[in-house]
Structure 1
C-alpha cells in the first residue's frame, strides 16, 4: 500500500491496481502483434493518463558488485541482493534523525526470474562509465563543500528541481506521472516537485544557446509508436544522481515506446562528455495506473532551515572576525 503525506485537491483516481514486480528489461518486451495504440485527434499514439515506475524501485541502479557481469542472473541470486538492499533502505528510513518516516516511502516490490539486475543497461556490465578527471574532482569537492554557501546549495534542497533524471528515475516516493497531449505537444507532469515538461513536436528551433534551464529545453518527435525526446540547454551544476552534477554539455535522449495499452518502455541515453568518459543508458517500463493519486508536493513551505543555517554560519564568522581584531 502506498501512503503519501498530504492529499491534493487535484488528485485523479479511477480503477486498475498495480502488480508489484521487478520489470524485465525494456529491450526484452515487444508490442503485441497486430495491435496499434489508440490515436489522438492529431494522430499521436494516445498515451494520456496516469503512469508510474514504482515497480522498478527495488531494481538496483547499477549492477551490484555481488553479481558477476553475465547478461542474466539467477532469480535466487538477484532476490538475495534485493532483499539485503531492501532491508538497508527500510533501516535507513526508520533510523530517526536524518531520514523521513517509513510511511513516506513506496516499498513492496518482488523479483522474478530473468529480471534485469540493474537499471543501467549500457555499458553492458550495468555499471556507469568512469568519471572524467573534471567530473571526479567536482564530485569529491561537492561531497564535502556542497553546503558551504547559498550559491552552491542543490536545487533539490531548495525544492526547485531534482533534474530531469531525478524526476524520471524510480525513487523513494512520488513516482507518478500524468501525461497530457494536445495538438503538437506532449506534457509530462511529475509528482516529484510537480514540474511539468512541455514538449513541442512541431520541429521548432531550439532556444538560444545562452539560455540555460535546470531541466533543459526539450524537443520531441514520433517515430512510429516511439516518442523520442532530445533535451539540451541545461544549466551547469544541475543534479543527475546523488553527488554527480552535470555540466552545460549534458544531452539526454529519451525514448517512450508504446508496448500496449498498459505499458510504456522507457529508455534514456545520457551524454555529458565533460563529466563521464562515455555515454550511458538506463531502461525500465512505466505502467498505466488509473488508480494512482498524485498528491501535493509540500516541500519548502515554512522551511527555514537554509536561512537559519546560513545566518548561524555568518554569525560564527562575525564572532571569529571580531576576535581577531
Structure 2
C-alpha cells in the first residue's frame, strides 16, 4: 500500500546522521509494518534460515558486508534477535535516547531506535549520530571493576543448549573483566508476568497505530497482522491502563536494582540459532521484558550452534547507562573474539 510513497522529509534520526556525514544508501526490507510477517530476506549464513524480525534486512546487510552500519527499531526484540541470528553487533539504546519523530509508529510507548554494526565502536558511532549525543562516539575505557551478574529470567528453560553454553562463555569473559566471580541474579517475582504485560501493551497500541491501514487497506494486510490487530482491539483500555501502571512500577524497581546491586546483566539474546524460514522470524521471548523496561541492550556474538549459525548474548545496563554499556561491551569483545565474523 505504500509502494510508491516517498516522504518529503527525513526522520529526525536520518537527518541527524546526514548532518554528521552519513551517506544514506536506501531503505531495507523489513517485516510487514515491523511486525511478524516476514519479507524475502534470508540469513546470510544459510539461506534456508530467517534473519529474524523486524529489522531483518538491516542485520543481514551488515553481516553480508553490504554496508558498515544500518538502522533498526525494537518494539519487542527487533534489534537484538536479528543481530544474534546474523552474527553482528546490535545496539538498542535506552528508550527515548533517539527521537522516533518521522518514523512509522508501531507501539509508541515501546518503539526504540538503534543500529547494527560489525563492532561495538561502529554501533557507538551510529547511535552517537542518530541521537545527537556525540560523546557516545568515543567509548571510554573502564576505570573500575563493574558488578556483573547473569540474569536467569523465568523463561530460562526455553533457551537451547547452545544459548545456555553461550551464557557460560559470557560469564567466563565477565569474570576476567570484573576480576571476581559472576553470580546469578534473580529478579522479583513480579517480573515473571512482564512478558505478558509487554505483549498486551504492544498489540493494543498496534491496533490503534494501524487503524487507518486497517480501515482503508484491510485486504492488503496479511492474515498474521490482521489477527494481531484483532487481538489488540479486544484488550480493554482499562487493562491497557493497568499494564502501563505496572510498567512504571517495574521500571522504578529495576532502576533501584541497578543502583544498588549490579552494573551489567548478562542474558540470552534469543532461544538459539536462527530458525528455518518456514518456522517464522523467531520468538522474542528473551527481550520483551527488557524492551518494556526501556533499558539499553547490546548483542555480542559469542559462539555458534549445531548448524554453524551465530549465537549471541545480550548485555543490559541500567536506565540511561548507555555509555557504561558500551564500555563494558567493548571489554567483552576484546576478551572474546567474534566467532563468526568474516573478513570483507
TM-score when scaled to structure 1?
0.23
The structure whose residues are more often strand, as a share, is 1
TM-score when scaled to structure 2?
0.22
Structure with bigger gyration radius: 1
